[in-house]
Amino acid sequence: MKKINIAFFASHGGSNFQSIVENIQSGNIYANASLLISNNSDCYAFERAKSLGVPFKHISSAQFEDSLEFQNALLALLDAYKIDLIVLAGYMRKIPQSIIQKYKNRILNIHPALLPKYGGQGMYGMFVHKAVHESGDAVSGATVHIVSEEYDEGRILKQESVAIDSEDTPESIAEKVLAIEHKIYSVTIKEIAEGKIKLD
| Residue 54 binds to ligand GRF (criterion: CB under 6 A) | no
Q: Which of 70, 181, 184, 187 binds ligand GRF (CB under 6 A)?
A: 181
Question: For residues 13 and 89, is the Cβ–Cβ distance under 8 A?
Answer: no
Binding to ligand GRF by residue 188, rule CB under 6 A? no
Catalytic residue among 12, 58, 111, 182: 111
Name which of 1, 9, 187 is nearest 103 in CA terms. 9
Residue 141 lies near ligand GRF (rule: CB under 6 A) = no
Q: What is the four-CA torsion angle of 152, 90, 166, 161, rounded to 10 degrees?
A: 60
User: Is-catalytic flag, 111?
Assistant: yes
Q: Exactly one of 4, 6, 7, 10 binds ligand GRF (CB under 6 A); which one?
A: 10
CB nearer ligand GRF, residue 2 or residue 160: 160
Q: By CB under 6 A, is residue 12 in contact with ligand GRF?
A: yes
Task: Give the interface size with ligand GRF as a residue count (CB under 6 A).
Answer: 14
Q: Which of 71, 90, 144, 176 binds ligand GRF (CB under 6 A)?
A: 90
* φ/ψ of residue 86, rounded to 5: -110, 130
Per the CB < 8 A criterion, the answer to whether 48 and 12 are in contact is no
Min separation Cβ 116 and ligand GRF, Å: 15
Helices (H), the chain: 15-25, 44-52, 67-80, 97-102, 125-135, 170-193
- Round to whole Å and give the CA distance between 96 and 153: 16
Shortest distance (Å) from residue 1 CB to ligand GRF: 28
Rounded least distance, CB 18 to ligand GRF, Å: 8
Listed residue (153, 68, 154, 151) closest to 104, CA to CA: 154
Catalytic residues: 111
- Which residues of this chain interact with ligand GRF, rule CB under 6 A? 10, 12-17, 89-90, 110-112, 178, 181
